[in-house]
Chain A
Amino acid sequence: MKSFSLLSRGTGIVFLAPAGLLIGAFVIAPFFWVIYVSFTNRSLLGRTALAPDFVGLANYFSLFDAATFFTRGEFGSSLILTIQFVLLSAVVGQAALGMLLAWMLQSVPKSLKHVTETVAIGAWILPEVVIAFAWFAFLDYENGTLNMIMEALGFPPGDWLLSFPFWAIVVFNTWRGTAFSMMLFNSAFSSIPPSYFQAADVAGASSWQKFRDIGLPLVRGHVVTDLILITMWSFNVFTPFLLTSGGPSYRTEILPIYTYRIAFRDFDFGKGAAVGVVVMLINLVFALFYLWVMRRRAKGVAA
Chain B
Amino acid sequence: MTRYLGLYFTRIGFSAATALIGVFFALPLVWFIFAPFNPRAELGLSVPEPFSLTNFEAVFQNGFAMRGLWNSLVQSVGGVILVGAGATLASYALSRSPIPGKSVITYILLLFSSVVSGSAAMVPIFLIINGVGLIDTQIAVILVFAGGLLPTAMFILRDFIDSIPKSYEESAMVAGASPVQAFFDVALPVIRPGIVVVVVWAFVSIWGSFLIPFILLRSSEKMPASVAIYSFYSEAGTPIVTLLAAYSLLYSLPVVILYLFVSWKFGFRFFGGIKA
Chain A residues with a Cβ under 8 A of chain B? 3, 5-9, 11-13, 15-16, 18-20, 22-31, 33-34, 37, 42, 97, 100-101, 104-105, 107-109, 112-113, 115-116, 119-123, 125-131, 133-138, 140, 142-146, 148-149, 175, 178, 180, 183-184, 187, 201, 204, 206-207, 232-233, 236-239, 242, 255-256, 259-260, 263-264, 269, 272-273, 276-277, 279-280, 283-284, 286-288, 290-291
Contacts and interface: CB of A to CB of B under 8 A. Distances in A.
15 contacts: A11-B180, A12-B94, A15-B97, A18-B82, A23-B112, A23-B147, A25-B147, A30-B128, A31-B121, A128-B226, A136-B43, A138-B28, A142-B44, A204-B3, A269-B127
B107 interface: yes
B150 A22 contact: yes
B124 A108 contact: no
Contact of A11 (B21, B93, B110, B125): B93
Given A8-B97, A291-B107, A37 B123 contact: yes
B143 A116 contact: no
Interface residues of B, number: 100
Given A22-B82, A144-B43, A6 B208 contact: no
B40 to A, nearest CB: 12
A125 B148 contact: no
B87 to A, nearest CB: 6
Interface string B103-125: 00001011111111111111111
Contact of B128 (A15, A25, A206, A280): A25
Interface in B212-246: 215, 226, 229-230, 239, 241, 244
Contacts of A269: 123, 127
A27 to B, nearest CB: 5
Given A26-B147, A145-B31, 11 more contacts: A23-B113, A27-B112, A27-B148, A28-B112, A115-B22, A144-B44, A175-B24, A204-B6, A269-B127, A279-B117, A291-B111
B90 A18 contact: yes
Given A22-B147, A23-B150, A276-B124, A6 B24 contact: no
B57 interface: no
B44 A26 contact: no
Contact of A20 (B25, B27, B90, B107): B90
Nearest to A203: B3
A107 B10 contact: yes
Interface of B: 3, 6-7, 10-11, 14-15, 17-19, 21-22, 24-32, 35, 42-45, 82, 85-87, 89-90, 92-94, 96-99, 107, 109-128, 143-144, 146-148, 150-151, 154, 166, 169-170, 173, 179-180, 182-183, 204, 207-211, 215, 226, 229-230, 239, 241, 244, 248, 251-252, 255-256, 259, 268-269, 271-272, 275
A53 B239 CA distance: 43
A201 B272 CA distance: 31
B96 A7 contact: yes
Contacts of B26: 119
A30 B114 contact: no
Contacts of A107: 10-11, 14
B252 A127 contact: yes
Contacts of A11: 93, 97, 179-180
Contact of B151 (A23, A129, A201): A23
Given A25-B143, A107-B10, A238-B118, A33 B128 contact: yes
Q: Interface centre among A26, A149, A273, by most B CB within 10 Å?
A: A26
B136 to A, nearest CB: 14
Contacts of B90: 15-16, 18-20
Nearest to B42: A143
Contact of A104 (B17, B98, B118, B151): B17
A157 B96 CA distance: 63
Contacts of A273: 123-124
A121 B115 contact: no
Contact of A116 (B18, B89, B123, B146): B18
A170 to B, nearest CB: 14
Given A31-B116, A107-B11, A255-B119, A148 B45 contact: yes
